[in-house]
Structure 1
Amino acid sequence: MAPTIAVVQPQPHRQPPSSAADEEVLRRRNEELERELKKSLEREDKMKQELQRTWERLRVAEEAEERLCTQLGELEAEAVDQARAYRARFLGLMDQLSAAQKLLQASSASLPNSQ
């Protein structure tokens, strides 16, 4: 007797027809997912708007910083000019005082002592 080989062909996988209850569950789940997607998109839009507002505030702050730095530089230059003018005035007054002291010393040396 010759050996025999049995060939088994796979049966196609068949799902039983969906019941109305299963369809209702899927429909509700789909609606729930659509609501969640809508909320997610709304949150995304809000975040984009907030990011845009934050970006604008940052731009305004940077411009303000630049203006303040410019003003600070101008004030520093003005302070240096005032310090130089003050020093020149101070040195001029010191020269006048020194000259006045020399005149006083010269005039007191030329006056006779009356005692």
Structure 2
Amino acid sequence: MMMAVIGIGGKQEKRTAAAAESELKKRNEELEKALRESKEREEQMKRQLQSAWERLRVAEEAEERLCSQLGDLEAEAVHQARDYHARIVSLMDQLSRAQTLLLNSNASSSSIALPSSS
């Protein structure tokens, strides 16, 4: 009787071992699939990072060019402001001389007696 029980138990153990092996294979396949997907996501993230890095480099170069252009424009604006100021000073000087001439001319003509018409 003991032999029959051992024989039946052996078959059950084989089924259990086969089920466990099948379960392990299935779990291994799932893990391998997850690993592949993870590697694909990692590669995609690397490509996105490289693309972002390139965009950043281009933006930094553009910023440097814009700063240089802004500096040139500021220097030109200062030069134009100085020229404009010099022109204003020159015009004010001319106006002052003209006013002086007018005042002197008015003062001279008022001191001359005009003949009366009577």
TM-score (norm 2): 0.79
Further displaced range: 29-38 or 102-111? 102-111
Match of 2:3 in 1: none
Runs of 4+ in structure 1 off by over 3 angstroms are: none
Q: State, as a whole percentage, how many aligned pairs show the same letter.
A: 62
Query: What RMSD, in angstroms, separates the aligned Cα atoms of the two structures?
Result: 1.6
Aligned to 1:83: 81
* CA drift at 1:71: 0.8
Cα distance per residue 1:50-105 (max 9 Å; x no partner): 00010011101101111110111011001000000000000000110011111111
Distance (whole Å) between structure 1 residues aligned to residue 39 and residue 48 of structure 2? 14
Using the TM superposition, give the Cα deviation of residue 110 of structure 1 relative to its aligned residue in structure 2, in angstroms.
Answer: 1.2
Q: Which structure 1 residue ranges, 5 or more long, are not aligned?
A: 1-15
Amino acid in the other structure paired with 2:103: Q
Higher helix share goes to which structure? 2
Q: Is residue 103 of structure 1 aligned with residue 101 of structure 2?
A: yes
Q: 1:113 Cα shift?
A: 5.2
Aligned AA (2:56):
L
TM-score norm. by structure 1 comes to: 0.81
Between the aligned partners of 1:29 and 1:89, the Cα distance in structure 2 is 88
Q: How far apart, in 1, do the equivalents of 2:113 and 2:32 lie? A: 116
